[in-house]
Amino acid sequence: MTQSDPPIPTPMPVPLVAAAAWVVPGLGHVLIGEHRRGVIVGVTLLSLFIGGLLVGGVDVIDRRQDTLWFAGQALIGPLALVVDQVHSYFDADGSPAPPQAGQPMPAYEVSVGRVNELGTLYCTLAGVLNLLVILDVIGRCTQPAEPAESQSSDERLAAQENARS
């Protein structure tokens, strides 16, 4: 790539595409025409994040106690902020005590040990991978126009299939 290479013209401004990729993982690729890539990335990242929540419970998203981990988790989008707000709402009266016989069930159960570690890891890796996705979609918006790269992979595949038939 040289300084004089013009970027590929995209119908949407790059900051908007990057913001869309943060709000909904994979949406940035969909907006620039990479539909299949965007769907694969989005479904995978949301599955990882929701999988982490299923494994470790809402306790794995905690902005106040796990600030550094949350910094990575927040990269998945507003979903992490919403989950943190839910966690904060449950914690309004302090973290729940371990369940005991005769006591009402706590709002949620604090996760510990490997389950907490893996749940936190799932959610954080989903966020950090979404940062890569955002950088990738920015790169695809601003890469130099080349004949072979000017089409999305879906369009190239369709052209190849048409040529075969």
Partner 1 sequence: MIMPLLTYLPTALAWRPFLDPLDFHELWYLLLPPLVFGISLVYKALKLPTLERIWLDTTRLAAYILVLISLAAVALFGIVEYF
Of residues 105-124, which lie at the interface with partner 1 (CB under 8 A)? 107-109, 111-116, 118-119, 121-122
Query: What is the closest distance, in whole angstroms, from the C-beta atom of residue 14 to partner 1 in the complex?
Result: 17
**Amino acid (1-letter code) at residue 26:** G
State the nearest-atom distance from the C-beta of 67 to partner 1, in Å. Answer: 21
CA torsion 73-78-84-88 (nearest 10°) is 160
Cα–Cα distance for residue pair 48/82, rounded to 1 Å: 17
154 class by beta-carbon count within 10 Å (0-12 exposed, 13-18 middle, 19+ buried): middle
Among 55, 75, 76, 79, binds partner 1 (CB under 8 A): 55
- The footprint of partner 1 (CB under 8 A) covers 36-37, 40-41, 44-45, 47-48, 51, 53-59, 107-109, 111-116, 118-119, 121-122, 125-126, 129, 132-133, 136, 153, 156-157
